[in-house]
Structure 1
Amino acid sequence: MRLLHTSDWHLGQHFMGKTRQAEHQAFCTWLIEQVREHDVQVVLVAGDIFDTGSPPSYAREQYNHFVVALRDTGCQLVVLGGNHDSVAMLGESRTLLAQLGTRVIPGVGVHLQDQLLLLAGADGQPAALLCAIPFIRPRDVLRSEAGQSAVDKQLSLQQAIHGHYQALHELALARRTELGAALPIIATGHLTTVGASASESVREIYVGALEAFPTSSFPAADYIALGHIHRPQKVGGLEHIRYSGSPIPLSFDEARQQKEVLLVDVGEGGLREVRALPVPRFQALQSIRGSLKTLPAALADAAIDGTPEHPVWLEVQVEGDDYLSDLQVRIAALCEGLPVEVLRIRRARGTAVASLQAEQSTLDELTPEQVFEQRLLGETFEPDQAQRLHGLYNQVLADLRDESA
């Protein structure tokens, strides 16, 4: 059986006031082409199909169109909820989408067996068992206890998630025995693992709880398809535990990454091959750095990738100690006539200047996280202070999402 592993689409994302709708549409079209070309039987989206729990209507429409287009290929689709996804919103259409060959696991439910899926191969016969584990919220597996320290909460949550994985894996083993076939077992997850390399667009899942899940705590599955980290990578150098990463850059520090999806071949002997398919870049995105003297050359180099119709989106990091109140005006003058659009200006020493585009954006165009981020850009913090503020803010948002889920 051939499975295509992808994650972290973040449909509906606004990036410095810019919509990603065209990029996501181009990616979905490209992905359907890959499914046909490579004879894929299952597409697995390992969490964060949407950027927020209340995505805009065009993002929901993109999602629905993809489901229909994929059905026409004969390929199965499995969608897992991520920390950005609303359990209620994803779950509201799962019965309907099941009629179109799509199985949605929005969150950890009451019945464990609902997360064990039987996947069919090209011949329509059982080909693999999938332990379909979405993002696990602490309330899904834990009861809060008074007097627990932050360390105790971390350990309790880690043990609870480990227990959930093991219980579902044991259920898969029993099901395999019942079927009387040496079916490979695939597991999923939407979380941070120890040693994973993240990017600035990855917001922490747990605050004061689980920071990273040990690789050794995963069950002995043949392949583990992970989401949440946007940089594609093997976990601990292991071939069978992978993050596919996001299909488009979701922050400027991802601009140089080669985005990819993963073709995974499994059979009765377990994992056979994992092959990366590079995702084309649908929108030029760059981060450049230099002084006001060297920036003209850097801007000219960046402009090579742009056209008047599709300018390069830029982050400009300005080196130099002198504070210039007209820095934005100067950068705008340097960019005049070039097919570039500056979305953010930063001082290389760490004090950021509000982006040109963000000032023209309305609050309706920005997510709460982006508003908070832009507010922090005007301040100077020590790294640990900024991280703590991000953590506290993310915890408030997570609590609010849990209440509305």
Structure 2
Amino acid sequence: MRILHTSDWHIGRSFHGHATLDALGGVLEVLVGQVREHEVDVVVVAGDVFDSAAPAAACYGVLTGALAALSDAGATVVVTSGNHDSSARLGFQSSLLRQGIHVVTDPLTTGTPVTVDDEHGPVHFYGIPFLEPALVRHLWPDAEIRSQRLAIEYAMGLVRVDAARRGGRSVAIAHCFAAGVDATPGVEREIRQGSLDVVPLAAFDGPDYVALGHIHGRQRLSDRVRYAGAPLHYSFGEGDKPRGSWLIDLDADGLAAVEWLDLPVPRRLMTIRGSLDELLGDERFAEATDAWVCAQYTDATPQLDPMRRLQARFPHCATVMHTPEGLRGDDGLTYSRRVRQARSDAELVDAFLVHVREGEGASERESEVIRDVIDERTLAEARA
């Protein structure tokens, strides 16, 4: 049996205020083509299908179109909910979907598989929707579910019991933060509390393959436990991470092979750094013209209207950061103490500039202007 493992579509997510629906739709079309080309039997989507609990109407069109296309390509589809999804909204139409498309959002179905047969017999797909401990502990009153870790461990216990009873091969699908992953700061919404909600790798013992979601970059925790990551880049911190999915082959004995299938990047992400004049004119930044750009300008002082000026050269400049270099070292003085120590009006202005510029005082040219202004004011007051 051939399985495609994808996750974290985040339909409806924006990228620095820019819509991503069209880009995602194009990438999912390529994914459907890969399913057809590689004769995939089952597609697994491991959570965070939508980006929010209340997606816009257009998001449903992208989802239903993708699911229908995957089905038309000949694949059975198994979708689970993630921490971004609303189980109710994602699963409300599950009973109306065409045969071969399964949306798993009910925690009480944990341990009840979607079974697909091949020439070697059955393969049981155990979908585990995102388990928020506070919301699911009442469903299993005899279990101690105080954290993500305990919730996943309990759910996997149900999976192992059922799989042993049924026999055959099995695949588990979950959405969580597993121990040993390399996350992208600020991208994956936190679903941990301290170390309690980090799920140990041993929790996933049993199935022939475990398809995980939540981490946006591909991760191999073991040969049989992996994250596929998101099909689009949703942060500049992800810019160097490939986009794609895992292609898994099961034979009669279980896991036989795993291959990575790349997905196209509609627009590459680049972070460029230099003074504003360098960013606007230096040819070494020419390759960023058609990319999504995070511009970090290093001028000592904030510059006038940097976004508008940068977008004239980089039409897809998405964010601008002022990251000055060569700032004056911290002298340990508070602003009020600097003010008290100022011996002249010029030093008082310089103390203010050091405070608002986070350590950078007046430049030589600025000091000349400040002295000229103070001298003119002093002369004007003397004539009054």
Q: Structure 2 length normalisation: TM-score?
A: 0.77
Aligned equivalent of 2:255: 271
> What is the identity percentage for the equivalent residue pairs of Structure 1 and Structure 2?
32
Contact 1:299 1:335 in 2 (8 A): no
Aligned equivalent of 1:27: 27
**Aligned partner letter, 1:198:** A
**Aligned partner letter, 1:332:** R
CA separation of 1:319/1:33 partners in 2, compared to 1, >3 Å: closer, same or farther? same
Which residue of 123, 128, 151 maps to 2:123? Answer: 128
- What runs of 5+ residues in structure 1 fail to find an aligned partner? 145-152, 177-182, 307-311, 351-379, 381-405
Aligned equivalent of 2:107: 108
**Aligned partner letter, 1:222:** D
| Counterpart Cα distance in 2 of 1:282 and 1:343 | 15
CA separation of 1:135/1:112 partners in 2, compared to 1, >3 Å: closer, same or farther? closer
| Counterpart Cα distance in 2 of 1:79 and 1:349 | 46
Counting only pairs closer than 5 Å after superposition, residues 309-348 of structure 1 correspond to structure 2 as 312-320=291-299, 322-326=300-304, 329-330=305-306, 332-336=308-312, 338-348=313-323
| Counterpart Cα distance in 1 of 2:82 and 2:302 | 42
Give the match's secondary structure for 1:60. helix
CA separation of 1:52/1:209 partners in 2, compared to 1, >3 Å: closer, same or farther? farther
Displacement of 1:294 in angstroms is 3.6
| Counterpart Cα distance in 2 of 1:349 and 1:77 | 50
Which residue of 222, 226, 229 maps to 1:242? Answer: 226
Displacement of 1:154 in angstroms is 9.1
| Counterpart Cα distance in 2 of 1:349 and 1:40 | 51
| Counterpart Cα distance in 1 of 2:105 and 2:166 | 22
- Larger Rg over CA atoms: 2
Displacement of 1:186 in angstroms is 1.1
For CA contacts below 8 A with separation 6 or more, give which structure has more relative contact order: 1
| Counterpart Cα distance in 1 of 2:39 and 2:49 | 23
Q: Structure 1 length normalisation: TM-score?
A: 0.73
| Counterpart Cα distance in 2 of 1:66 and 1:16 | 25
Q: Does 1:118 align with 2:115?
A: yes
| Counterpart Cα distance in 2 of 1:331 and 1:18 | 15
CA separation of 1:160/1:9 partners in 2, compared to 1, >3 Å: closer, same or farther? closer
Contact 2:295 2:317 in 1 (8 A): yes
Counting only pairs closer than 5 Å after superposition, residues 141-180 of structure 1 correspond to structure 2 as 141-142=136-137, 157-176=148-167
Counting only pairs closer than 5 Å after superposition, residues 3-18 of structure 1 correspond to structure 2 as 3-18=3-18
**Aligned partner letter, 2:296:** Q
- Choose 223-232 or 161-170, whichever is displaced more: 161-170
**Aligned partner letter, 1:203:** R
- What runs of 5+ residues in structure 2 fail to find an aligned partner? 326-356, 358-384
Aligned pair count reads: 320
Displacement of 1:155 in angstroms is 6.7
Q: How much is the aligned-residue C-alpha RMSD, in angstroms?
A: 2.6
